[in-house]
């Protein structure tokens, strides 16, 4: 090779590199577009920002001249059970401390076991007008989407924020893996954003509820296997969406730095939150909402001493033989209780009856004035016992019977 030829090649080398670099850039763009077309998560973060507790890095989410619409999507933990507050109530209470332009939206107000607002333990602070959600007990991603199609939810309710708490029941399937659960989560989000795009609206922000630990096995898998699956799914979801802090936030129910979600402390049956558990779940949701930009500062609703108070009601009357007949028609169903017992007060002395699952009982209390009230319980023994409900007074005559 002559020196002249080498000189020519040296002079051409920068031009060749430039062309090569341009081709690589084009290929990268093509690959990224193609990857998104195959269903990879959209890169929708509006400039990033520090993932702070206050949410100020994202800017306050302002819907303009209408209420901020929040839709809860999930299974029984989100739907709540008849006789309970639901964690949605505590989220509502927390949001009311920060803003008065919030509305919960969705296709139903039903609790598991009740279609009536009277099924809720608490209806105060305006929550009675904000019972709406899109959750159903025992749901998986597949069954809930069949019941409440994503396109219909977005078009009808136009949510600004979706609180998504699904995956717990998906983990029960024999072939479920962390990857499967994480991909179902991502696919649901993509469907929402695709519906947003079709309607020409801003893309919905998400609060993703970490899948809680279980204490009881499902019919298909052991408790240990299920918890490993959901732990892996939570990790994948956090890794996949953690870089989009102003569009997606995770509630860190299991990975928070302060309190761990312990089913033995915060559930009544190893899966579903009790009264204190509802406040903890709501507290973590509110922290994520703050980071997402729904409000500035912090809100705390967690209360480890929150008591269950569905106020079970009874009726009582004296029979001809002097015994007292006590009935509680529908009260166990109204509070989704497994059993009921009576608190009896006579001349300052207090007694308790045995727990029963019957609709009524007859007591030989003897002559005198007796004050009766009822308690109900739910779940594993000792886990969830209510406060006594309203008292009724009966007078048994000395000559009765």
Three-state helix/strand/coil letters over 25-77: HHHHHHHHHHHHHCCCCCCCCCCCCCCCCCCHHHCCCCCCCCCEEEEEEECHH
**pLDDT above 60: residue 343:** yes
Q: pLDDT band at 401, cuts 50/70/90?
A: low
Percent of the chain at pLDDT above 70? 86
In the CATH scheme, what is the code of domain 56-292? 3.40.50.1110
Measured CA to CA in angstroms, residue 350 lies from 281, 311, 370, 377 at distances of 36, 19, 10, 19
Asked if residue 59 has pLDDT above 70, the reply is yes
Q: Give the per-residue pLDDT at 385.
A: 97
- Find residue 326's DSSP bridge partners: 316, 361
**Average pLDDT, integer, range 255-265:** 85
Q: Which residue has the tokens 């989704």?
A: 336
Q: In this structure, is the dihedral angle defined by the CA atoms of residues 150, 156, 162 and 164, taken in order, positive or negative?
A: negative
For tokens 């279609």, the residue is 115
CB-CB contact of 87 with 77 (8 Å): yes
pLDDT at position 15 is 38
pLDDT tens-digit map of 66-99: 999 999 999 999 999 999 999 999 999 999 999 9
pLDDT of residue 54: 45
Task: Say what the pTM is.
Answer: 0.84
Pick the closest to residue 302 from 122, 111, 96, 91 (CA basis). Answer: 91
Does residue 197 register a pLDDT over 80?
A: yes
Task: Please state the domain extents for the chain.
Answer: 56-292, 315-396
Mean pLDDT of 282-287: 97
| pLDDT tens by residue, 96-145 | 999 999 999 999 999 999 999 999 999 999 999 999 999 999 999 999 99
Residue 383 clears pLDDT 90, i.e. is over it: yes
The helix (run of H) or strand (run of E) holding residue 250 is strand 248-250
CATH class of 315-396: mainly beta
| Percent of the chain scoring above 90 in pLDDT | 79
Is 285:91 a contact under the CB 8 Å cutoff?
yes
Q: Please state which of the ranges 43-52, 192-201, 208-217, 326-335 shows the lowest mean pLDDT.
A: 43-52
As a whole number of angstroms, the distance between CA 296 and CA 323 comes to: 60
Q: What's the first-to-final CA gap in the chain, in angstroms?
A: 127
* pLDDT number for residue 4: 36
- 259 pLDDT above the threshold of 90: no
The model's pLDDT over 288-305, given as tens digits with 9 standing for 90+, comes to 999 999 999 999 999 999
Half-sphere exposure of 102 (CA within 13 A, CB side): 26
- Summary mean pLDDT of the chain: 87
What is the reported pLDDT for 220?
84
pLDDT in tens, 143-158: 999 999 999 999 999 9
């Amino acid at each position: 090779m002559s020196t002249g030829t080498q000189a020519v090649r040296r002079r051409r080398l920068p031009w060749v590199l430039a062309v090569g670099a341009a081709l690589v850039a084009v290929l990268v763009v093509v690959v990224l577009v193609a990857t998104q077309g195959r269903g990879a998560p959209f890169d929708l973060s509006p400039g990033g920002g520090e993932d702070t507790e206050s949410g100020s890095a994202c800017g306050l989410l302002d819907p303009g001249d209408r209420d901020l619409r929040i839709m809860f999507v999930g299974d029984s933990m989100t739907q709540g059970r008849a006789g309970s507050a639901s964690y949605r109530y505590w989220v509502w209470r927390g949001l009311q401390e920060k803003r008065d332009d919030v509305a919960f939206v969705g296709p139903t107000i039903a609790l598991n076991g009740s279609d009536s607002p009277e099924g809720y333990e608490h209806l105060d602070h305006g929550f009675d007008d904000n019972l709406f959600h899109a959750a159903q007990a025992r749901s998986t991603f597949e069954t809930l989407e069949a019941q409440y199609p994503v396109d219909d939810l977005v078009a009808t309710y136009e949510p600004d924020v979706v609180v998504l708490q699904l995956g717990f029941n998906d983990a029960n399937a024999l072939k479920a893996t962390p990857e499967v659960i994480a991909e179902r989560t991502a696919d649901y989000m993509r469907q929402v954003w695709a519906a947003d795009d079709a309607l020409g609206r801003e893309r919905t922000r998400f609060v993703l509820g970490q899948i809680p630990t279980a204490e009881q096995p499902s019919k298909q898998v052991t408790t240990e296997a299920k918890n490993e699956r959901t732990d892996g799914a939570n990790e994948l979801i956090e890794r996949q969406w953690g870089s989009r802090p102003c569009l997606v936030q995770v509630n860190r129910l299991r990975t928070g730095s302060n309190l761990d979600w312990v089913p033995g402390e915060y559930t009544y049956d190893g899966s579903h939150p009790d009264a204190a558990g509802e406040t903890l779940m709501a507290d973590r949701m509110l922290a994520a909402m703050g980071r997402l930009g729904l409000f500035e500062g912090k809100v705390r609703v967690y209360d480890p001493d929150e008591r269950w108070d569905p106020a079970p009601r009874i009726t009582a009357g004296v029979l001809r033989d002097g015994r007292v007949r006590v009935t509680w028609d529908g009260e166990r169903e109204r509070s989704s209780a497994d059993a009921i017992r009576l608190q009896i007060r006579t001349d300052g002395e207090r007694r308790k009856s045995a727990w029963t699952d019957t609709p009524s009982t007859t007591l030989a209390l003897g002559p005198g004035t007796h004050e009766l009230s009822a308690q109900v319980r739910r779940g594993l023994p000792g886990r969830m016992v209510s406060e006594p409900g309203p008292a009724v007074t009966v007078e048994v005559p000395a000559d009765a019977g």
